[in-house]
Amino acid sequence: MRINGYEIKPRANLKGANLWGANLEGANLKGANLWGANLRGAYLEGANLRGAYLRGAYLEGAYLEGAYLMGANLWGANLMDANLEGANLEGANLRDANLRGANLVGANLVGADLKSANLKGANLQGADLVDANLVDANLVAANLVAANLKGANLSGANLRGAYLKGANLTGTILEKKEVPQDDKDLKIKELEEENKKLKEALKAPLDT
């Protein structure tokens, strides 16, 4: 299959390709190189992008419902307002990715790396984030209702205004701090109590 002069196939070299608004429904792009590609508004429902290299790709407003992105590299990709409902992003690299306002309802993000990702206002209702890395992530006003955050690392994440009603926070790392070498009065017990209070606060039901 060829679109805009580009051959669409597994392991295709589409670095910097212009596929703006392209219809790639069900396309097989497994292992493809899409580094910096323009996929704004592209239709990728059910597409196979397993192991694809999408670092720095432009996917604003792209439709990726049910897409397969297991192990894909989306480091620094722009997925603002993208629809990833039910997408499989298990083990994907989403470091520094822009997912502001994205729809990730029911998405599989098990073991995904979302360090420093922007998820402000994103909808993660019912998403599976078991063992996900969310260190320093921006989750301001994100919808995490009924999300599974078991074992996820949320150290340094901004959860201001986030909705966590019904979320599974078993084993979740909410804050990790080290005792300063020059502060002998700061006790480990105090840090543990602080973490305990934070965890209890997040478990409290919130109005949605």
Mean pLDDT, 10 residues at a time, over the chain (208 residues)?
A: 92 97 97 98 98 98 98 98 98 98 98 98 98 98 98 96 96 65 42 58 56
Judge contact between 73 and 54, C-beta under 8 A. yes
Residue 184: burial class (beta carbons within 10 Å; 0-12, 13-18, 19+) = exposed
- Cα separation of 168 and 18, whole Å? 40
pLDDT on residue 160: 96
- Structure-derived torsion over alpha carbons of residues 20, 26, 32, 38, reported in degrees to the nearest 10: 10
pLDDT on residue 204: 59
**Alpha helix (H) ranges present in 48-153?**
none
- Cα separation of 123 and 73, whole Å? 21
pLDDT on residue 175: 76
pLDDT on residue 194: 55
Judge contact between 72 and 95, C-beta under 8 A. no
Judge contact between 192 and 176, C-beta under 8 A. no
